[in-house]
Amino acid sequence: MNKEIAISALAAHYGATDAKVFAAPGRINLIGEHTDYNGGYVFPGAIDKGITAAIRLNGSDRIRAFAIDLNEHAEFGLQEEDAPTQSWARYIFGISRELIKRGLPVGGFDTAFTGDVPLGAGMSSSAALESVYAFALNQLFDGRFDKLELAKAGQATEHNYCGVKCGIMDQFASLFGKAGNLILLNCQTMEYRYYPFHPEGHRLILLDTQVKHELASSAYNERRQSCEAVVAAVQKRHKDIAFLSDVTFDMMYEIQDEISAEEFRCARYIIEETERIMKVSVALELNDYETVGQMMYETHYGLSHLYEVSCRELDSLNNMAKACGVAGSRLMGGGFGGCTINIVQESLYDTFISSVNTRYFRQYGKIPKIYEVVISDGARELC
């Protein structure tokens, strides 16, 4: 459906009838939150929602782009001074520039794109947009870049053209995604391994609080500073330590009197989260979703009470899941709003959703948006 929409829009706006069509997905992260910038592991997977783009080379040095869902058009060149003003267009411009910097001879093209990954719900619609154009341009201009280099180009787009100092997880998952598998990614070394994800008798559900508190950006920076302070203190005794994910509890107790209580709590969460990720990797191979779910609840507790990045809406949804007997639930993403990710038994699904809608509306005057997702393939050419 999205493929036909993109092709039709390209033809209508730019007269293109010989388009190539590409797709790239959004992502979820099962466990491993705030571990990426601490040099730890994450456990993402691509989902069956993303961005679809129709593209035709136009033989010029200009890009003409149409955002179908926004009904907006942009046209711009390929030099630094040609950067467009629309935020969505800057992603296309930025990925083009990053590939040019890496030696790809990107020329002008016409494009139209559409998406079904929800905006602002923590499923990385921006990474999907970067990844679909990174993958497409690499194909169309005979590039030889591997997926890791394309992911790095996407991350650099966020840093250099969109003002977001993100990690690489989102772009990595969008490009490396594999149906039926999650990805255990070491954010220090970029080593990765696929793990089977077949939760038979369960559904993977995201519940969107529909809130985002102002505290989010400032608190994110504060948590990073706390983690960096702990590493700096540990390095006085252990010079080989570069990231908090490499710190042990023994090291923590050595410096406990040199750091604040908040810094100690943050470090405790990261160390415990690393242990949980390893337990989940074993549990997935055994199809042990009881253990996976238990680790998710423990992660939420740590994010709420140790790392302190939750909010009352997220805690409410987590408590509702636990009260209904849902296998696993936790907040997903930076915190202070956004979604919880839930592994819900089929037998509990209707009761759970009904209970959540009723109780959440009673507390907050709204009902959460519900997204069911399936773990799917990464960026690819459709035709």
Domain ranges of the chain: 2-197+376-381
State yes or no: pLDDT of 112 exceeds 70. yes
Q: Which of 36, 170, 208, 246 is catalytic?
A: 170
Give Cβ neighbours of residue 373 (< 8 Å, ≥ 6 apart): 28, 47, 48, 49, 123, 204, 205, 206
Distance, in Å, from the CA atom of 260 to the CA atom of 270, rounded to the nearest integer, reads: 16
* Active site annotation includes 170: yes
Work out the percent of the chain whose per-residue pLDDT is above 70: 98
Asked whether the beta carbons of 206 and 340 are under 8 A apart, the reply is yes
pLDDT tens figures, 116-128: 987 766 788 899 9
Asked whether the beta carbons of 231 and 242 are under 8 A apart, the reply is yes
Distance, in Å, from the CA atom of 187 to the CA atom of 201, rounded to the nearest integer, reads: 32
- Across the range 214-221, mean pLDDT stands at 71
Structure tokens at 23: 């797709």
73 — pLDDT class (breaks 50, 70, 90): very high
Asked whether the beta carbons of 212 and 338 are under 8 A apart, the reply is yes
Domain 2-197+376-381: which CATH number of 1.10.10.10, 2.40.50.90, 3.30.230.10, 3.80.10.10: 3.30.230.10
Give Cβ neighbours of residue 287 (< 8 Å, ≥ 6 apart): 196, 198, 200
Q: What is the dihedral angle through the alpha carbons of 178, 181, 187, 189, rounded to the nearest 10 degrees?
A: -80
Per-residue pLDDT, 221:
81
- Across the range 216-221, mean pLDDT stands at 74
Per-residue pLDDT, 383:
87
Distance, in Å, from the CA atom of 114 to the CA atom of 206, rounded to the nearest integer, reads: 21
Helices (H), the chain: 2-14, 87-101, 125-140, 147-161, 169-176, 215-235, 249-254, 261-285, 289-301, 312-324, 349-364
Work out the percent of the chain whose per-residue pLDDT is above 90: 88
216 — pLDDT class (breaks 50, 70, 90): low
Classify the C-alpha dihedral 90-93-98-99 as positive or negative: positive
Torsion angles phi and psi, residue 295, rounded to 5: -65, -35
pLDDT tens figures, 149-185: 999 999 999 999 998 877 899 999 999 999 999 999 9
At 24, is the secondary structure helix, strand, or coil?
strand
Asked whether the beta carbons of 126 and 158 are under 8 A apart, the reply is yes
